Structure 1
Amino acid sequence: MTTATPKTIETAGTAAPKHMRSAVPVQTRSDRFKSTVVSEFPDVTGREAVWKYTPVARLAELISGELDGAPYMFDATVASGVSTEWVGRDDARIGSAGTPEDRASANAWTAFQQALVISVTGDDDKEFTLTRSALGSGPRAAHTVVVAAPNSRATLILQNSGAAHLTENVEFVLGDGAHLTVVTVQEWDDDALHVATHFASIGKDALLKHVAVTLGGGVVRLNPSAHLAGERADAELYGAYFADAGQHLEQQVYVFHDAPATRSRVTYKGALQGVGARTVWIGDVLIGPKAVGTDTYEQNRNLVLTDGARADSVPNLEIETGDIVGAGHASATGRFDDEQLFYLQSRGITEDEARRLVVRGFLAEIVQQIGSPALQERLHAAIEAELESVVTVGS
């Protein structure tokens, strides 16, 4: 069991103007500076703890540039108990789940003109898909708020494809007893840029299952955070990603246990191939002083398929109470298991096909968590297409 090393940032409170902030040590993950105003954040240099793995030069227009915050076109399926509406910045639901902790998130918050609110009601199981495929290549900001009413149940699929230079915030507010599955799929064009922060507030006896699948985009940085605010709140965060040459796929996950008897499971798996393929996973779990009886575990696994690819994996765990059920983390990055390859080849399977079978099975654990057969089948096919171009790792 470990604790995260305290870092130093500029802050004097969550609303302090830039000129009033001074360098003080951050004692815990929840103490990071927060603001919805981009000017409250210093310029990003790439040396900051939250940016040091990120190609900030490629994202400069999203971090600090002017953004188009107007509403955009989207397609949505029809599901009983699920509705969408555009609302003004003064809507009380905005900001219910979290506040930006980095400049790109704050830039999006400062720039959006209207927020898209998705409301979920009814205790029957339902599936709703929102598709964005025509955002264009201009720098854009967006804000989405998903409100799941108490005891409601739904699967929400956020499908992203096409061109995009997008920075956004997405909030999930789960009422007591709500069960919400969120599947976010990134299949952007090869030159797309996407920076997203997902905030979730989970009420008493509520369950959030968050599944992030990233297969496309030039630079994709997706940071999900879950605040287990109610007693017996439950969060399951899953991720699957496949990086090709020149792609940078990054996830910074944060789970905050802030109430008694809460539970969380974090499992992210990734595969990389090609020169310059890069993945980053940072997992922060904080068990607060009120979170007695916490049960948590996080893990990240990466398969490097070719030379020239790089995976960074950093799990962190902070515990502020001694009365817990269990807490742990694990991280592993490596090439194929030679014993698995030998076993498959000894049964007449070619080496290339054996490698594809291993990777397919490796990522299938995450895809199977989605619970939508049609989407699972399509994602399995997309992963298979990625595997067709796998180059064998040299011995």
Structure 2
Amino acid sequence: MSAASALSKSASKTVPAPSTPAAGSSTLSPGQHGIKEHSDGRFGFVPVQTRSDRFKSVNVADFEAVTGREAVWKHSPVAKFSDLTAGDLDGSRYEVESTPSADISVEWVPRTDARIGTAGLPEERAAANAWSVFDEALAITVNGEEAKEITVTRSVLGNTARGAHTIIEAKPFSQATVILQNMGEARLSENVEIILGESANLTVVSLQEWDDSAVHLANHFASVGRDARLKHVVVSLGGNVVRVNPSVRLAGPGSDTLLLGLYFADAGQHLEQQVYVFHDAPKSRSRVNYKGALQGQDARTVWIGDVLIGNKAAGTDSYEQNRNLVLSEGTRADSIPNLEIETGDIVGAGHASATGRFDDEQLFYLQARGITEEEARRLVVRGFLTEVVQQIGAPELEARLQLAIEAELIGTDDK
């Protein structure tokens, strides 16, 4: 949706776009959902009809070369990161720093670790390329029922094209907040697996404050066990191309997830997030709330939200929404919510999307009370984004993000 577009809203059920079959794979089945193959050159293939049926593989050779016409890549500037989808990646260890925290261990483990591959598998070539090359995975393991917090920082990755793998495991009944802080230069494709045991309560924050030239492609796979709760937060402020795609499978009865996103795109930036929530167990609950702002020529954001309520997920309660605030001409925000329901026994399910400019009534209200137009605009933007910031649950990080948003707003009225 272009910056010049008027406010648009979507609350209807949609069907995800067909995906391109991978080389050597069987992603498409001739009789799926009763749909038959066409006789006009489809060569026996029927498009995938359900989000969970997408092809998955850890072998990069199983995926065709990325052209930008594929469903998962058609919104992305694929020419800017061809080295991450087709090139050789450095899968060796890299330098990390972590704050000390009781009952949380941070260590490197071999790729033979039993936890690897249990939360999810790659559905596209960049993720498979990273999966194919990593030597060791960074494992963050949470124990103990007392609440604690840890920050793991990467800031010296450099410009080498890299592949990486991270495991975050919350043992049964444990509680923690894990902040993944990304800074400096990077050309990185990575997979992050998040595993929650029974009744675990885990918050994972992925914070992208990269340098202006950085490229970061990330896929987060989460499996949430019985009565466990995952809060997953994506904050994207820095970088040239940043694409963080979380996929959450609510695998245990009573599992719960809250997925939050905050992004601010400046001139020339591409910030993308493709969110997938799979309700695969009864009485599961999900809420998705992503909010972003755009300013400057060719600022671009993409949000795709897929929710699948499976046939085993009786009693599901689900809702997703995406809101975008356009601050200048020359920007583009794509917002695509999708909802699939395979059982009629649900508590509720819905989705919404909106992209628009400032609310003139809000600006008039503030100006009528002696506030300048420039400050009024900043107050509106801060209020719009603060809703997400305040739900993170890490006071020091929340305060720092408020300052970062303020820094992004400097110069807004000149663009």
TM-superposed CA distance for 1:166, in Å, is 0.4
State how far apart, in whole Å, the 2-side matches of 1:107 and 1:338 are.
Answer: 47
Opposite residue 113 of structure 1, the aligned amino acid is D
Q: 1:153 aligns with which of 175, 187, 191?
A: 175
Residue 35 of structure 1 is matched in structure 2 by 57
Q: 2:359 aligns with which of 337, 349, 367?
A: 337
Query: Within 5 A, what are the aligned runs for 1:225-244?
Result: 225-244=247-266
SS at match of 2:346: coil
State how far apart, in whole Å, the 2-side matches of 1:5 and 1:279 are.
Answer: 19
TM-superposed CA distance for 1:89, in Å, is 1.1
1:85 aligns with 2:112: no
Q: 1:121 to 1:33 in 2, by over 3 A?
A: same
Structure 1 gaps, min length 5: none
Between the aligned residues of both structures, percent identity stands at 66
Structure 1 stretches (4+) deviating beyond 6 angstroms?
12-16
* TM-score (ref. length: structure 1): 0.96
Residue 8 of structure 2 is matched in structure 1 by none
Residue 10 of structure 1 is matched in structure 2 by 21
State how far apart, in whole Å, the 2-side matches of 1:323 and 1:77 are.
Answer: 45
Opposite residue 100 of structure 1, the aligned amino acid is P
Whether the 8 Å CA contact 1:9–1:24 is kept in 2: the answer is no
SS at match of 2:237: strand
State how far apart, in whole Å, the 1-side matches of 2:143 and 2:318 are.
Answer: 29
SS at match of 2:371: coil
Of the structure 1 ranges 7-16 and 45-54, higher mean CA displacement relative to structure 2 is found in 7-16
Residue 371 of structure 1 is matched in structure 2 by 393
SS at match of 1:341: helix
1:259 aligns with 2:276: no
Residue 341 of structure 2 is matched in structure 1 by 319
Note the aligned Cα RMSD (angstroms): 1.5
State how far apart, in whole Å, the 1-side matches of 2:86 and 2:103 are.
Answer: 38
State how far apart, in whole Å, the 2-side matches of 1:336 and 1:8 are.
Answer: 36
Whether the 8 Å CA contact 1:130–1:157 is kept in 2: the answer is yes
Query: Within 5 A, what are the aligned runs for 1:121-140?
Result: 121-140=143-162
TM-superposed CA distance for 1:5, in Å, is 4.3
Deviations 1:265-296, CA, capped at 9 Å, x for gaps:
00000000000100000000000000000000
TM-superposed CA distance for 1:80, in Å, is 0.6
Opposite residue 202 of structure 1, the aligned amino acid is V
Q: 1:234 to 1:57 in 2, by over 3 A?
A: same
Structure 2 gaps, min length 5: 1-11, 28-42
**RCO greater where, 1 or 2, for CA within 8 Å and sep 6 or more?**
2
Deviations 1:43-92, CA, capped at 9 Å, x for gaps:
11101111000000001011111100001001101111100111111111
* TM-score (ref. length: structure 2): 0.92
Deviations 1:135-194, CA, capped at 9 Å, x for gaps:
101101110001100000000001001000000000000001000001111000000000
Residue 230 of structure 2 is matched in structure 1 by 208
Residue 5 of structure 2 is matched in structure 1 by none
Residue 31 of structure 2 is matched in structure 1 by none
State how far apart, in whole Å, the 2-side matches of 1:317 and 1:68 are.
Answer: 37
